[in-house]
A and B are shown apart, each in its own frame.
Chain A
Amino acid sequence: MRRELEAIFGKVSTDVASHARDATENPPRTPSFVVEAAREEQVGELLKLASARGVPVTPKVTGQNIGGLAIPAEGGIVLDLRSLDAVEIDAENMVAWIGPGVSWARLKAAAADAGLVLGFPLAPPDASVLACALMDGLSTMALAHGSFGDWVHGVVAYLSDGTRVVTGSAAVSGRPLSRGPLPDLTGLFLNWFGATGVVVKLGLALWPKRAHRRREVIACPDLASGVRLLRAGGRTGLFDDLGALGWPAAHWALGVEDPGPRDPAEPELYCIAEYAADEPGEIEQKARRLAALAREAGSEPPLPVADLLALAPDLAPFAELPARLGFLLDHPGGGLTWVGTYGPLERLEEGARAGSALLERAGHPPQVVMRPMKGGHYAVLRFIEKFARDDPGATERVRALNVDVARALLDLGFVPYKCPEVLLDEVLRRMDPGFRDLMVRIKRAVDPTGILNPERWRLQP
């Protein structure tokens, strides 16, 4: 196998151990081989070989999905896609063709050169845009434009037999301007985590750069007032983003590793609003509306993030994204995990209380993240935990906690996104049997040898 891999890639990395696990509590598994694609054709050649040999393949870029989704199959092949990093911007149609290796920082710069912008997740600048989009992540423009899955206009992917597939309008025109009007097969690769094919190119929507952009923070005394603000602001159509962070994040960012208990007088939630406009009058109107919404929700007036930053430069990661959130990624314990869900906006407060209570009972600061999505059609509700990754007891405890949190949120109608392995049982148990059967049948059709990231979704016969 090694010789055949060398024939395709030139060399095979011996560093398999570093790919065995990530920052999360998801179970580690060691691959036998790690190869790095320099040309997209190599992906097809590899998949043909792996299919013939029945060896699992896990595509990977930087592996920072916080869901264990790039942890490979034991004895399989890790396909490193970092070097496929071409960017082509169609400024007129506001879309980018990007390879897996294109980072947030790189796409931000390329988009800016074309007078365009995009939103950002709380991911490091070097993380892969394509991976996040395929996993339906969210961004600072998610209220206006939905999760990243909604931004994908088509892909170029390789199936397990090496077949190259183009989806969306690009299947006919070569240009990724829309998912339709053909049958929407782009969805075959969204949220499948590499179990149906390896995507080597993705068409991603970008947005016009506005002349004025503001980012303001609103201190909300309690969850109820914060959620009132998110629900009312979410459906105004005025803001690109209205995200809320629980109180611990500010403490972590300001250097307190283990905050709590919270001073009851301290705001429980901080909402960050981002909005833009072409005219000064329009941005002032949005600012006034935000201030009114904050007042009506019982929160403090908005405060420019830039002012806060002048006072406390440690908060810089919240001011300009993408940013490396060192307080999450570089803490002494090294472990980072979350339960992230999409669900009903009207159950947000209830879900936030339920998850926060579980985290506090387990000795974790109740770090919640919430935001209305896509004009307020649904909401994100996420809980973040740091833990000591090398402590098996701590890892087991956080695993159990995440299952408990997921159960509580699923009961309220929230569905995990970037669904990690440890939550799969809970999700599969509640899944419509017909949907599950359709997933299995699709998997068999596009990956009959079952080599594509087989640990994801447990679709093997």
Chain B
Amino acid sequence: MQVRIEDPPGMNVLGLFLAAALRRSAHPCALAGILEVGAGRMRAQVRFASGEAVVTRAAGPAKATVTGSLPALVEAIVRPRLRALLRLSVRGSRLFAWRTLQVLRP
């Protein structure tokens, strides 16, 4: 998967984490749509299209939004157990959110 960050100097650390996770992801990705992620007060979006992921601060309306504290988000990605997932709040398509978290998983 091609991963690109829009405006790297202005990207927050959440977007940089997401880009790093996507770059080393070994999971196949056929996603399309925008995932918005919130960690603490930070927000970043990942726009999936045609095998490419673009990490931005704001790309447009999200298909799903996942929010939580940074530790909760990281734990849900790294160790996606029920306890970790319950610490996150999901709006929009839960299926899309779940599939993108799987792509981010190490």
Residue ranges of A at the interface with B (Cβ–Cβ < 8 Å): 219, 221, 247, 250-251, 254-256, 258-263, 265-267, 300-303, 307-308, 310-314
Residues of A within 8 A of B75 (CB): 303, 307
- Known pairs A219-B70, A303-B71; A247 contacts B20 (CB<8 A): no
Nearest CB in chain B: distance from A199 CB, A? 41
Nearest CB in chain B: distance from A270 CB, A? 9
Residues of B within 8 A of A255 (CB): 8, 16
20 A-B pairs with CB atoms under 8 Å apart are: A254-B13, A254-B16, A254-B20, A256-B8, A256-B9, A256-B11, A259-B9, A260-B10, A262-B12, A263-B10, A263-B12, A265-B40, A267-B13, A301-B69, A307-B75, A308-B74, A310-B78, A311-B17, A311-B21, A311-B74
- Asked if A267 and B40 sit within 8 Å, CB to CB, the answer is yes
A250–B42 Cα distance when bound, in Å, is: 15
- Asked if B42 and A258 sit within 8 Å, CB to CB, the answer is no
Q: Which residue of A lies closest to B38 (CB)?
A: A265
Residues of A within 8 A of B74 (CB): 303, 307-308, 311
- Asked if A301 and B71 sit within 8 Å, CB to CB, the answer is yes
By secondary structure, the B interface counts as: helix
- Asked if A312 and B41 sit within 8 Å, CB to CB, the answer is no
A38–B12 Cα distance when bound, in Å, is: 50
Query: Among the listed B40, B77, B78, B79, which residue makes an inter-chain contact with A221, where contact means beta carbons less than 8 Å apart?
Result: B40
| Binary A-proximity of B32-73 (CB < 8 A = 1, otherwise 0) | 000000001111000000000000010000000000011100
Q: Which residue of A lies closest to B57 (CB)?
A: A263
Nearest CB in chain B: distance from A187 CB, A? 42
B14 CB–A CB distance under 8 Å: yes
Residues of A within 8 A of B11 (CB): 256, 263
Q: Which residue of B lies closest to A256 (CB)?
A: B8
B92 CB–A CB distance under 8 Å: no
- Asked if B13 and A311 sit within 8 Å, CB to CB, the answer is no
- Asked if A258 and B40 sit within 8 Å, CB to CB, the answer is no
* Additional A-B contact list (8), CB under 8 Å, known A267-B70, A302-B71: A221-B40, A256-B8, A263-B11, A267-B42, A301-B71, A307-B71, A307-B79, A311-B74
- Asked if B13 and A247 sit within 8 Å, CB to CB, the answer is yes
A308–B78 Cα distance when bound, in Å, is: 8
A219–B42 Cα distance when bound, in Å, is: 11
- Asked if B40 and A311 sit within 8 Å, CB to CB, the answer is no
Residues of A within 8 A of B9 (CB): 256, 258-260
Nearest CB in chain A: distance from B19 CB, A? 8
- Asked if A312 and B78 sit within 8 Å, CB to CB, the answer is no
B24 CB–A CB distance under 8 Å: yes
Residue ranges of B at the interface with A (Cβ–Cβ < 8 Å): 8-14, 16-17, 19-21, 24, 40-43, 57, 69-71, 74-75, 77-79, 104, 106
Nearest CB in chain B: distance from A229 CB, A? 15
Q: Which residue of A lies closest to B21 (CB)?
A: A311
Residues of B within 8 A of A300 (CB): 40, 69-71
- Known pairs A307-B75, A310-B78; A265 contacts B21 (CB<8 A): no
Q: Which residue of A lies closest to B24 (CB)?
A: A313
Q: Which residue of A lies closest to B16 (CB)?
A: A254
Residues of A within 8 A of B57 (CB): 263
A410–B65 Cα distance when bound, in Å, is: 48
Residues of B within 8 A of A311 (CB): 17, 20-21, 74, 77-78, 104, 106
A366–B68 Cα distance when bound, in Å, is: 27
Nearest CB in chain B: distance from A222 CB, A? 11
Nearest CB in chain A: distance from B50 CB, A? 24
Q: Which residue of A lies closest to B75 (CB)?
A: A307
Residues of B within 8 A of A261 (CB): 10
Residues of B within 8 A of A302 (CB): 71
- Known pairs A258-B9, A302-B71, A308-B74; A265 contacts B43 (CB<8 A): yes
Q: Which residue of A lies closest to B79 (CB)?
A: A307
- Asked if A263 and B24 sit within 8 Å, CB to CB, the answer is no
- Known pairs A221-B40, A311-B74; A266 contacts B14 (CB<8 A): yes
Nearest CB in chain A: distance from B89 CB, A? 16
A311–B75 Cα distance when bound, in Å, is: 9
Nearest CB in chain A: distance from B39 CB, A? 8
Q: Which 3 A-B pairs have the closest CB atoms?
A: A312-B20, A263-B12, A303-B71
Nearest CB in chain A: distance from B34 CB, A? 18
A452–B24 Cα distance when bound, in Å, is: 52
Residues of B within 8 A of A301 (CB): 69, 71
- Asked if B21 and A312 sit within 8 Å, CB to CB, the answer is yes
